[in-house]
Amino acid sequence: MAEQLLDVRNLTKRFGGFIALDGVDLHLDKGERLGLIGPNGSGKTTMINCISGALFNDEGAIDFEGRDITKLRAFERARLGIARSFQIPKPFRSMTVIENLFVPLEYAAWDRIDHSRVTEEAMEILERMGLVDLAHTNSADLTQIDMRKLELARALAARPDLLISDEAMAGLSNEEVDEILDILFALNEDGVAVIMIEHIMRAVMRYSERIVVLDAGRKIADGSPDEVVSNPDVERAYLGE
């Protein structure tokens, strides 16, 4: 029986009169690969903002590793093992690539790593991501794809049990998409659960063990990729009536 990692119940978030999320349930097992899809504005980013703690939900509860994290601030959740990358990369622009990794290593992952090995750990991650040669380059000077990789590298450096990747592949070429997918697969093999938000369908289909579909703040499908793809509600949501 797979162990439950994340349990989101009845998540509701409003912005003034606008209901961004309406009673969404989501569960995730340890090491599971979940795809989160839905049309624009369906609430995907709001969902992960609520899970990561960047926003606080109005109703509902979030459990992580058996513990209620609904009221915890984002940095506390990061320390517990939830990491996320941002849709539009947000590097620490005055720092080099490797310095960017020091921050999550020294904060989010501080209790989980050997304090004397911070630089080595950072270099190891850069090697996995293919960014070693850029270790001492200023992060503001990176190309698009390298910045995306840095986003992921930084989330990895937080030594998470759950990684949420928010459209890490948007606008990338086919080879670049495969590069990122390989990294995410390798990461998953280490036992990290991944929630992938993506619009690139072939990536989602290939990567996910399970897919959750949101539409206008509600969950309309939750199942294997084949089930979801043949679900008429999903088709309707994307293509309209």
Partner 1 sequence: MRKFWMVPVAVFVAGLLLTESLDNEFYFFAGYVILQGLIMGTAWNILGGFTGYVNFGSAGFFAVGAYTSIALNKAYALPLPILILASGLVCGIIGLGAGYLTLRLKGIYFAISTLAMAIVFETFINNWEYVGGASGAYILTPADSLFFSSYVELLFMVMLIIAIAAVCFARYLAVSRIGQGLTAIRDDELAAECMGVPTLRLKLISATAMGVFMGMAGAPYPFFVTFVDPLSAFSLFIAVNSIAMPLIGGTKVWYGPVIGALILGLTQEITTVTISSELNLLIVGVVLIGFITLAPAGIVGLVQDFNRKRLRAKAGD
Q: How far is the CB of 139 from partner 1 (least distance, A)?
A: 9
Q: Which is nearer to partner 1, 52 or 208 (CB)?
A: 52
Q: Which is nearer to partner 1, 108 or 203 (CB)?
A: 108
Residues 6 or more apart in contact with residue 17 via CB below 8 angstroms: none
Q: Which is nearer to partner 1, 101 or 184 (CB)?
A: 101
Q: Does 65 bind partner 1 (CB under 8 A)?
A: no
Taking CB under 8 A as the criterion, which residues in 82-111 touch partner 1? Answer: 83-84, 86, 90-95, 99, 102-104, 106-110
Q: Does 73 bind partner 1 (CB under 8 A)?
A: yes
Task: Choose which of 74, 123, 170, 172 interacts with partner 1 (CB under 8 A).
Answer: 74
Span near partner 1 by CB under 8 A; candidates 22-30, 70-78, 121-129, 222-230: 70-78
**Closest-CA residue to 174 (of 166, 182, 185):** 182
**167, 199 Cβ separation under 8 angstroms:** yes
Query: From the CB of residue 185, how many other CB atoms can be counted at a distance below 10 Å?
Result: 13
Q: How far is the CB of 71 from partner 1 (least distance, A)?
A: 15
| Relative orientation angle of helices 144-157 and 174-189, to the nearest 10 degrees | 10
Q: Does 117 bind partner 1 (CB under 8 A)?
A: no
Count of alpha carbons within 13 angstroms of residue 226, beta-carbon side: 0
CA distances from 19 to 3, 7, 63, 74, 228 (A): 32, 21, 22, 22, 24
Q: Which is nearer to partner 1, 69 or 211 (CB)?
A: 69
Q: How far from chain centre, in Å, is Cα 148? A: 13
Q: How many helices (H) and strands (E) does the chain have?
A: 9, 10
Under the rule (CB under 8 A), what is the footprint of partner 1?
52-54, 73-75, 78-79, 83-84, 86, 90-95, 99, 102-104, 106-110, 154, 158
